[in-house]
Structure 1
């Protein structure tokens, strides 16, 4: 029986081939001099010519800001205390291509002092894009293209126990279509679906750049709004939204009358937030607005100022009540 023993050169060649197939490369940094040593896979990842001279500050500049800060923090930690880390970092190749890199690093010590760090760098862009695509599918509403209830609840969980320290005032708005069941019953679900699609498009058009717009139920939508200019711009945006949702929907040569009712509550800076309480407040405001006649806006716990009243668009009604 013969044993197929690989020479060092053959083993290195096989390793290099496998590493390139896996978009993987090895790296090392001498701490005393910051001298870098890369295999071909790392050069390819950053888009640099293989074997070219490396300067650590230049390569670090290819990291996106947040990834760069996290990498430097973790790097300092293993230099100080030993150990290792794994980090998925966003980088930009020298030709401007956005990529994701999985970085592994470990510190080596000589006579009790750190002398080098080393590890692997792997291009995981396709993996990230796949998972991001799956996340989009999991967190988007297939009918309207908006975020779905799962995405809305995830965003609301981010508010739990979090106190905003900046100047921005936030608002949670619940938007409910009026008499939507009647549209489905009289014209069919295809007509109802078209109404939902057009409502979603109008919400995106009247609330551009807001943190989140979601469809959270059959005919229920939610939006998180933000303003650094106080309450008035938030109310104006919601009144503009009411007007936009009041326009009839055209479907198969006929006109479908639609309208919506909005209940909203404030997310004040400097306070801790309970998502369930915020939702309950907005839902309570929505109930009051519907009881007052639908097609209206109700703000939970907010006083009406004269400037907002003067700015209310013609033909719109705003009901405000301190609950």
Structure 2
């Protein structure tokens, strides 16, 4: 017998031992509760940090359950689409907020990701519920049960400012700051089409080089401000005269280039004569006046490479200057009547 028990088969635990075990268990439970509470506080803290970071970065998390096409969004995704936070959303409700082109691109990459059990990243334009235009970046991952896709999830980020900045930088790179015409870099890119055998430009396009006559005298006699104003007026008139051209660019100080598709210019020589007439003007008055005009070189593609075409038009322009200025000359067909090559980097 133990602890005064009259039954030899039963051990009786003293009340002091029972109280100690309960105390130890209570202490362990209190410690576990303290850990859980601390973890809960830490989780709540990190959730707030995540929400603040998401708001600052304009990023939200989304999920689509594939069987029912039900969407789950964090608050930032609701904000991106300017929908009330917390409302039930489905793909059928959201897809109309994507313009047709964006919707088609999204459908294509989503279908491919589901078929390949993979993911995707896509930048697309949306129209919010309030009609605002926005650009978002969508990232997605497909989750499978075995080999069956059951969920697709990822993030959506507002990249509107990033897109606008990229557009501004591209515009700056592609536009001439002085005149607003296409820049030399954009002209070089467009000229490369003459090296592409499948581009109609390579078979029948036309290039004109337009160089102002008398511009140096304006700069020397009236100053650079007057010269700049003269350039802008000439550029404006050239843009109007060539509004149906493929590209009108400023490629040098007082030099311009115009690329035409054959179907838009039936008679390049007649058009060049009109351009020369449109660009003619007089700057100043009396003994100080300067006559501004334009010498124009014309070259047809005729199987020429981009470099050969530019040289041909450039040489024709110099022949127009030699002929008295304010006129045009046309490069002979390829392989005939080649003049001395003028190698100039455009």
1:195-235 Cα offsets, whole Å, 9 max, x none, are 11111121222233644322111111122334645624x65
Equivalent-residue separation in structure 1 for 2:230 and 2:178 (angstroms): 11
Name the CA shift for 1:99/1:224 in 2 (closer, same or farther; >3 Å).
Answer: farther
Residue 257 of structure 1 pairs with residue 288 of structure 2: no
How far apart are the structure 1 equivalents of 2:191 and 2:93? 39
Which residue does the alignment assign to 2:21? none
Residue pair 2:297, 2:317 contacting (<8 A) in 1 also = yes
Of 176, 179, 182 in structure 2, the residue corresponding to residue 141 of structure 1 is 176
- The aligned runs of 1:124-139 (5 Å cut-off) are 124-139=159-174
Per-residue CA deviations over 1:74-115 (Å, capped at 9, x if unaligned) read 222211213332222122223332211111122222211222
Relative to structure 1, the CA distance from residue 37 to residue 282 in structure 2 (aligned partners, 3 Å threshold; closer, same or farther) is farther
Match of 2:254 in 1: 219
Residue 284, structure 1, aligned to residue 320, structure 2: no
Distance 2:264 2:141 in 1: 48
Distance 1:47 1:21, change over 3 A: same
CA distance in 2, matches of 1:260, 1:142: 21
Bigger-Rg structure (1/2) = 2
Q: Matched residues in 2 for 1:250 and 1:55: separation?
A: 69
Q: Give distance in 2, aligned partners of 1:230 and 1:195.
A: 27
Q: CA deviation at 1:9?
A: 4.1
Separation (CA, whole Å) in 2 of partners of 1:243 and 1:219: 17
Q: Rate the CA distance shift 1:163–1:241 in 2: closer, same or farther, 3 A.
A: same
The TM-score normalised by the length of structure 2 is 0.73
2:214–2:290: 8 Å Cα contact kept in structure 1?
Answer: no
Question: Which structure 2 residue ranges, 5 or more long, are not aligned?
Answer: 1-33, 339-346
Q: What's the RMSD between the two structures over aligned residues?
A: 3.3
Equivalent in the alignment of 1:245: 279
**Cα offset, 1:148, TM superposition:** 2.0
Q: How many Å separate the matches in 2 of 1:237 and 1:97?
A: 44
Larger displacement relative to structure 2 (93-102 or 213-222): 93-102
Q: Distance in 2 between matches of 1:38 and 1:267?
A: 56
Superposition map of 1:58-207 within 5 A? 58-157=93-192, 160-161=195-196, 163-164=198-199, 170-207=205-242
Look up the SS of the partner of 1:257 in the other structure: strand
Per the alignment, residue 275 of structure 1 pairs with 306
Q: 1:33 to 1:256 in 2, by over 3 A?
A: farther
Q: Greater share of helix residues, 1 or 2?
A: 2
